Structure 1
Amino acid sequence: MNNKKFAGTGVAIITPFNTDKSVDYKSLEQLVNFQIDNGVDYLVVLGTTGEAATLTKFEKTKVIELVCKTNAKRVPIVIGFGGNNTSQIIEQINEFDKFSEIDAILSVAPYYNKPSQEGIFQHYKLIAEASPVPLMIYNVPGRTSVNINADTVIRIANKIENVIAIKEASGDMQQIMQIIKNKPKDFMLISGDDALTFPMIQLGASGVISVIGNAFPKEFSQMVRNALSGNNKEALASHYQMYDIIQNIFTEGNPAGVKAILHQKSLIKNELRLPLTPVSKLHYKNMKMMIAKML
């Protein structure tokens, strides 16, 4: 299975909203082109950063259709299909009719239920069997309250053929190293943490699924390319150039921070759907000053 198309920088694309909270499809089209024109390697649609939890089924379908049409097969597309009801996810996959347009599914660990490691394994086994495209698993215990431990990841990688990667956002570097050391050669570990992407690539990660890439696709993609190709001096300089703003986009929640920057760049309106709200005026101002210094 060719996994190389998922090396480098994937961007977990935001969903822009109008002032009446409807989806701003015009800005979404503009944003897709902005990402591709500035060198990202693939797009991830309907993830946490895309506020998928607040979108209706109709809106999700329209978002996918627009992204696929705008992309026009220029870069791979990954769609988020996740939840804490295994059978419901499988139903959604079975009902989805646009697999010819996408390249993989990203599925977050089942949240709230706090399943055992065996439950996590069986959850992904059934989803992978139902999916006609490769599956990436997503470990983000800070959001889900459950960690996919290294032994379970290695078991999944060896036993479930259709699972090709893990997006790792645990922040546990020992766990990350254990996975990289023991995983099958073709199984990819992808950073799910912008601030740790450079060190994770040094340890053997294949790239990143990024939030900051929404606002700085050219700069962040170049940092990742330099790190993957061994141009570490340049990559490290870029890493530290962007480090403070990366830290600060999450201070008042995601995607509130990155949406504020995109608003400053006149790419979107500064709108989110409840329960998320825009960043405070003070934080908005602070990030604007930070970006001015960075550039």
Structure 2
Amino acid sequence: MHARILTYVDEVARQGSIRAAADKLNVAASAISRQIKSLEDEIGSPIFNRQPRSVSLTAAGEILLVHIRETLREMNRTYALIEDLKGLRRGEVAVALMSGLSGNIVPRVAMQFRNANPKVLVRLQLMTTPDEMIAAVAEGEVDLAIGFDFPSRANVRQLAVAVAPLGLVVSTSHPFAGRSSVRLSECFDYTFVVPDSTTVIRPHLEQILAQSGKGPSNFIETNSIEVMRHVVMMSDSVTFLTPFDIETEAAAGKLSFVPVQDLARETQRLVLLGPERNPTALGSVLAEYFKAAMNRGNAHGGHLE
């Protein structure tokens, strides 16, 4: 009913005549006139100046028409989204991701979504920096982006945030595996596998080592979280990641996450980004899958903000 009166006002303004609008909409002119009079009574001001054969907008009508046309555009876009959801038409949805998530939450969620929507192409794009990923969402190159510690930016919106603890990651054969916790100083006898300066986790690690006053004697440095995981699985090296980074390997019994007493307050924020306005229907559906997966991560020590 609300949509009907908005349509009446919009068409009368376009045609400059209640009768012409009635002919265009196939509605009785008296019905349109009655609805407009009711709306004028409600807002306490005339919308149209009435002449014998035509009408024109009043100042109040001009203001109201801007709102009406914005509302109708949004309503039409909403109807289109609902139609997309009804049949989930053929199409594609794109996600930008950080490398640390390439073997865990992202492929798992992508397959869950794909199994439920087999006609949709899911495109996963590995990107190296938060700024690159944010720009891809803002410019419509991808529907969603998922990664750690995104800074706030215009034209994007945080759809979900899960806070995860940063801790020690070792192979399940390592002496520390199974421990309830360790101190950072206990780790210095082992080779550290560390992320390089291009990664978002590096500032966390630098802060930790600066606070300790000392550090390990041996390092392996890489820009790949995937390499970090594999080196640790193949040796007695140690690294520092979140439970989200090792989800698959932990489930397979290949890696262990051990809380570090010195890092009790060190966390990373896993963030799902979407566009500030006009998300696609498929992007919105896929976002719900990611939100559910991020919520399940709570069982591994993370929590949604």
With normalisation by structure 2, the TM-score equals: 0.23
With normalisation by structure 1, the TM-score equals: 0.23
Structure label with greater radius of gyration: 2
Q: Going by fraction, where is strand more abundant, 1 or 2?
A: 2
Higher relative contact order (CA 8 A, sep 6+): 2
